[in-house]
Structure 1
Amino acid sequence: MSKQLTDGSDLSDCRIPLVKEPLLPDQAERLAPSFKALGDPVRLRLLSLIASHEGGQVCVCDLTESFDLAAPTISHHLKVLKDYGLVTSQRRGTWIYYTATAATLDLLSTVLSTREVTTA
């Protein structure tokens, strides 16, 4: 079973804000791992650095300098973000560039939204 929310599964039933109706058990099962992945401060900060980077992509070499952690530790956290569909990566020569996955972030933010969401 894929860890990613955006793996082609029908997620329309998860696109409802918590303030509108409570999650069903299977919806919570599908959403919880992505929120858990963001529960680590390093991963949350990595995602924010990637998502806010100019141009929407950032080289791993630019991420490691923002932390007082060994490169393998940063790589582990990036792998977790990638495994849960929060980021994608692209190798360019010896470097890997990361991009935040808009579809996953949109889904998670919709669930946490306090605004009424209209579905088309």
Structure 2
Amino acid sequence: MDIAELRKQEAYETLKIQIAHLYVQILSNIETLQRSAENIALYKGASAVAEQEYRNRRTSIHDVAKTKEQEFAANQDFALLRSTINDQLLTLEIISHTPILTIQGEKDVQETTIQEQEENKRQSKKKDKKE
């Protein structure tokens, strides 16, 4: 084996390690994202309770503000983690030469177009019945 072939194999092995590392990070972040979504739901509920308690004069506006602040922080954490996952998926897509988000984006556009066409058909049938 010549030096060029060895370097090519070494680069390929490095690329495989990067792909595996990204994959593991993505899986871990998806699990964390799920927990983050649950956290948001809990804070939304806590905010609703705090607001109701304030309306019933059982708590102060400070308590409501604190709960809302925690809800906002949970939303920010979720958005940041979702952005990180998207970044990791795009990086994985690029280094593995495998469409991941691109295909999903195209499917979403196609599904939206089909749904719009079906809705237009329903609207036109309703108009025909009225006439």
TM-score (norm 2): 0.31
Highest RCO, 1 vs 2 (Cα 8 Å, sep ≥ 6)? 1
**Hey, which of these two has a bigger chunk of strand by percent?**
1
* Largest Rg, 1 or 2: 2
**Hey, which of these two has a bigger chunk of helix by percent?**
2
TM-score (norm 1): 0.34
